């Protein structure tokens, strides 16, 4: 007999946390820090609306789906859009659509699905590539493979590194870096970058900044924040901040000093970060999806993630089914533009917890699109 219940992550019992962790540990595809109970618990501290649906068979917890539930009955991955990966973490096959209905969810909208059991196979509409750095042993064989793959690129990196040494100073990596001023600098550079490019500022809401601050201050245990910085004569010029679980690191923030843009310090930083992985106890440096031109040259491993919507069976799925149909109708003939609009709206909806915040986000998106199109937006 299958049973389910839904609760806030903070109300998970030690037995449920242990069962969830055991499932993620048993399958390599679930190894990301974003897929286990620790991330759900961290998000739960800053988001009262965080939920976890749990499915049981014969009293044993066999499936976990951390999420936020919208008024329409649409569920979104917990911590979105920071949850670059998300999953229904299950130890056994199950009917996803029926399971969503059992949990009182109309639908689940996903954009970075990890699905090793193929539970969502029929609901994935498109796939994207995520980039992963995986070390077998030492870093040098990996770096040598990168050099062999792109000798001209790495020759240019050596030239840039020598140029920096002559004109600015010696590059050094600080790993880990626990300097709060450096952390604040990476955040400030990222927010400036988001503003310049017209992307929605995912660091504007209080909950995202508090989540990262909490993780930055957590320096013990398998699950914690990790910041790496590259410095020139003590001055931070590039860095990453994200979350690690054991041997796996997933950065959220990649920032560089705009004044050092001509020196490609972001690329030079990644080379030093790879070299530092063994000393940090890292085997996996998961760069995630997007920004292919930046990530692909460093990632000898790639994985496919899914985007789509799983709609619940029966009455629970009707309103969500209508909403999904409206999106498709609105996007008919618009191609990539409709997809971009939808993703931007989803990001704003995920981040902003108030109607006022959502309206401001939409207004900012319209203004940014006008600036990129060379159109003056008044008001």
Do residue 196 and residue 223 come from a single domain? yes
Do residue 105 and residue 152 come from a single domain? no
Alpha helices in 230-280 (DSSP H): 265-280
Do residue 326 and residue 342 come from a single domain? no
Classify residue 260: in a domain, yes or no: yes
What confidence tens digit (pLDDT) does each residue in 208-242 have? 999 999 999 998 999 999 999 999 999 999 999 99
* Number of folded domains that form the chain: 3
Q: How many other CB atoms are found less than 10 A from the CB of residue 124?
A: 18
- Tell me the two tokens of residue 83: 């949850």
CA distance 372 to 340: 14
CA atoms within 13 A of residue 7's CA, in its CB half-sphere = 13
Do residue 278 and residue 140 come from a single domain? yes
Q: Do the beta carbons of residue 217 and residue 225 sit within 8 Å?
A: yes
Classify residue 84: in a domain, yes or no: yes
With residue 54 as reference, give the H or E element that holds it.
strand 50-57
Classify residue 290: in a domain, yes or no: no
With residue 79 as reference, give the H or E element that holds it.
none
pLDDT value, residue 363: 61
| pTM (predicted TM-score) | 0.89
CA distance 361 to 351: 9
| Residue 8 pLDDT exceeds 50 | yes
Do residue 25 and residue 149 come from a single domain? no
Do residue 141 and residue 278 come from a single domain? yes
CA nearest to 88, candidates 44, 121, 132, 58: 121
Q: Do the beta carbons of residue 223 and residue 38 sit within 8 Å?
A: yes
Q: Do the beta carbons of residue 78 and residue 40 sit within 8 Å?
A: yes
What confidence tens digit (pLDDT) does each residue in 106-160 have? 999 999 999 999 999 999 999 999 999 999 989 999 999 999 999 999 999 999 9
CA distance 327 to 305: 21
Classify residue 292: in a domain, yes or no: no
CA distance 270 to 260: 15
Give residue 102's Cα distance to chain centre.
Answer: 28
364 versus 55: the higher-pLDDT residue is 55
pLDDT value, residue 332: 41
Classify residue 165: in a domain, yes or no: yes
| Residue 328 pLDDT exceeds 60 | no
Phi, psi angle pair for 196, to nearest 5°: -65, -40
Q: How far is CA 364 from CA 82, 153, 378, in A?
A: 20, 37, 12
Classify residue 255: in a domain, yes or no: yes
Do residue 156 and residue 24 come from a single domain? no
pLDDT value, residue 359: 62
Of 247, 282, 317, the residue at which a domain comes to its end is 282
Do residue 189 and residue 325 come from a single domain? no
pLDDT value, residue 366: 55
Do residue 338 and residue 327 come from a single domain? no
The three-class DSSP label of residue 375 is coil
pLDDT value, residue 1: 37
Question: How wide is the angle at C-alpha 100 spanned by C-alphas 26 and 18, nearest 5°?
Answer: 30
Query: Domain containing 365: what range?
Result: 333-379
CATH of the domain at 79: 3.40.630
What confidence tens digit (pLDDT) does each residue in 13-44 have? 999 999 999 999 999 999 999 999 999 999 99
Handedness of CA 315, 316, 322, 325 (dihedral sign): negative
């Amino acid at each position: 007999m299958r049973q389910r219940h839904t609760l806030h992550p903070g109300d998970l019992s030690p037995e449920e946390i242990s069962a969830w962790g055991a499932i993620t540990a048993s399958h390599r595809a679930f190894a990301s820090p974003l897929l286990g109970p620790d991330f759900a618990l961290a998000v739960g501290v800053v988001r009262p609306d965080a939920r976890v649906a749990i499915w049981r068979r014969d009293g044993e917890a066999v499936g976990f789906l951390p999420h936020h539930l919208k008024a329409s009955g649409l569920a979104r991955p917990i911590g979105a859009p920071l949850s670059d990966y998300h999953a229904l973490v299950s130890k056994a096959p199950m009917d996803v659509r029926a399971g969503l209905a059992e949990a009182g969810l109309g639908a689940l909208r996903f954009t970075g699905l990890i699905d090793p059991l193929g539970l969502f196979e029929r609901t994935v509409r498109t796939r994207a590539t995520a980039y992963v750095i995986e070390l077998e042993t030492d870093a040098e064989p990996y770096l040598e493979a990168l050099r062999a793959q792109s000798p001209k690129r790495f020759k240019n990196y050596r030239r840039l590194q020598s140029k920096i040494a002559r004109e600015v100073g010696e590059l050094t990596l600080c790993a880990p870096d626990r300097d709060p001023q450096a952390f604040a600098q990476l955040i400030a550079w990222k927010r400036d970058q988001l503003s310049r490019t017209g992307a929605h500022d995912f660091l504007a809401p209080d909950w995202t900044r508090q989540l990262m601050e909490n993780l930055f201050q957590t320096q013990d245990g398998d699950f914690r924040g990790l910041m790496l910085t590259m410095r020139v004569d003590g001055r931070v010029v590039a860095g990453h901040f994200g979350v690690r679980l054991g041997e796996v690191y997933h950065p959220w923030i990649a920032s560089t000093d705009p004044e050092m843009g001509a020196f490609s310090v972001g690329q030079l930083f990644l080379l030093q970060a790879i070299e530092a992985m063994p000393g940090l106890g890292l085997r996996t440096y998961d760069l995630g999806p997007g920004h292919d031109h930046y990530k692909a040259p460093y990632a000898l491993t790639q994985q496919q993630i899914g985007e789509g919507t799983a709609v619940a069976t029966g009455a629970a799925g009707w309103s969500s089914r209508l909403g999904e149909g409206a999106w498709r109708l609105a996007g008919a003939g618009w191609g990539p533009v409709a997809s971009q609009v939808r993703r931007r709206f989803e990001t704003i909806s995920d981040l902003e917890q108030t109607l006022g915040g959502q309206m401001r986000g939409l207004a900012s998106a319209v203004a940014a699109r006008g600036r990129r199109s060379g159109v003056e937006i008044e008001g």
